[in-house]
Amino acid sequence: MGIIHRDVKPQNVMIDPERRQLKLIDWGLADFYHPGTDFNVRVASRYHKGPELLVNLRQYDYSLDLWAVEEPFFKGKSNSDQLVKIAKVLGTEDLMKYLQKYNLTLSSEYDDILGEYPRKPWSSFVNDGNRYLSGSPYVIDLIDHLLRYDHQERLTAKEALNHPFFKS
């Protein structure tokens, strides 16, 4: 048992540069985690919602907080648009496999807005404005292992901290 924050975003991270510490604040949406429990999916700020919230998968876990730890890549106008924006990067084939694995179906609102999209390589997002961030050969691998549809395939916090990106 532990606690899921459920509203991780840059605005909820305080930095103390003198002590070199980060503190996570605003625990108003947090809940105790018990495996097999159905949780509310109406949590987190839209840009930071993991796919499990957007497809109404109620038995999520700590990895929800790992999806949200980065600056948002996806900025949808609504929850459904948010999932479409994610699908345009992670691909619809993997989305359908994810839905099938957990026996989920998308609501009919997606019939007109969700097309078929191939998975885009993370390297295609590197440009002159962010090239300095990709100096480490491990940064793209870290992003790839944090931004997965399936929460069971995402790195845990401990695994993320032990990722070669943080060791280099």
Of 7, 61, 65, 150, catalytic: 7
Query: Residue 133's pLDDT is what?
Result: 74
For residue 6, give the amino acid letter. Answer: R
Q: What DSSP state is assigned to residue 162?
A: T
Arithmetic mean of pLDDT over the chain: 93
State pLDDT tens for residues 75-124. Answer: 999 999 999 999 999 999 999 999 999 999 999 999 999 999 999 998 88
Per the annotation, the verdict on 7 as an active-site residue is yes
Alpha helical stretches, state H, 22-78: 51-54, 63-67
Taking residues 23-39, report their average pLDDT.
Answer: 96
Of 102-106, 128-132, 137-141, the poorest mean pLDDT is in 128-132
Residue 141 — very low, low, confident or very high, per pLDDT cuts 50/70/90? very high
Pairing mode of beta strands 31-33, 21-24: unpaired
CA distance 52 to 89: 16
Could you give the domains of the chain? 2-167 (1.10.510.10)
Q: Name 2's bridge partners.
A: 33
pTM for this predicted structure: 0.91
- Taking alpha carbons only, the member of 160, 161, 162 closest to residue 144 is 160
